[in-house]
């Protein structure tokens, strides 16, 4: 089966299981989404969702955030890991938003990626989920699934993003990347994965179906 046909069938499965999806990170607006996604780097969404209510109670916008000492931000977000780097980035990007964008989060990829601590994946999430502009955020989890399902070589996230954008309709990008994340957590885990119990891998997986991994 060609990759395009496989992607089409996989999309049908994902749409059946997850007809409606929401960003798994709790947020109230574009700014809080940006901060939550930044915090999620090398951290679970579950842990981020425990930290952000505390942080956003102190500062839910850039005006309030810049008034906080960086050490206070770091203290609150410590459970998310890389707290020093992330705290400095949050404080610095909040200042830039006030200076350059009147306190608003920009809606251009190039401007988002120029903000401290905001990489391509974070910018892609904000573009897709806050501004509804087609983007396909790819992290290591989606990279792993794309390789396991035979949709990409999985060489790196950049290559995986290009491959998936070619295979899935642009109109599906903003939804399918969340569907993939949810499916991976529930049915296609990195460890203890039972291929025969995974609807996608049992049908399209690249590994021997009789094995678990």
Positions annotated as catalytic residues are: 121, 139
Cβ 112 vs Cβ 88: under 8 Å: no
User: Among residues 86, 79, 89, which one has the least CA distance to residue 44?
Assistant: 79
Count of helix runs (H) and strand runs (E) in the chain: 12, 0
Helix (H, G, I), strand (E, B) or coil at 189: coil
Helix (H, G, I), strand (E, B) or coil at 194: strand
- Fill in the DSSP letter of residue 38: H
- What the block records as the tokens of 107 is 């809606």
């Amino acid at each position: 089966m060609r990759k395009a046909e496989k992607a089409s069938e996989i999309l049908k499965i994902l749409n059946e299981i997850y007809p409606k999806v929401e960003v798994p990170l709790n947020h109230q607006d574009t700014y809080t989404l940006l901060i939550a996604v930044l915090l999620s780097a090398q951290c679970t969404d579950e842990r981020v969702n425990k930290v952000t209510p505390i942080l956003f109670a102190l500062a839910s916008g850039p005006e309030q955030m810049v008034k906080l000492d960086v050490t206070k931000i770091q203290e609150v977000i410590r459970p998310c890991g890389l707290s020093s780097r992330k705290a400095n980035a949050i404080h610095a990007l909040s200042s830039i938003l006030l200076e350059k964008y009147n306190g608003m989060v920009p809606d251009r990829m190039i401007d988002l990626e120029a903000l401290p601590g905001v990489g391509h994946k974070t910018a892609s999430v904000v573009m897709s989920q806050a501004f509804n502009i087609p983007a396909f955020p790819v992290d290591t989890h989606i990279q792993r699934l794309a390789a396991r399902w035979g949709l990409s070589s999985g060489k790196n996230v950049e290559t995986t993003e290009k491959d998936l954008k070619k295979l899935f309709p642009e109109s599906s990008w903003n939804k399918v990347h969340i569907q993939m994340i949810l499916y991976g957590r529930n049915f296609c885990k990195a460890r203890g994965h039972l291929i025969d119990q995974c609807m996608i891998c049992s049908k399209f997986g690249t590994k021997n179906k009789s094995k678990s991994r």
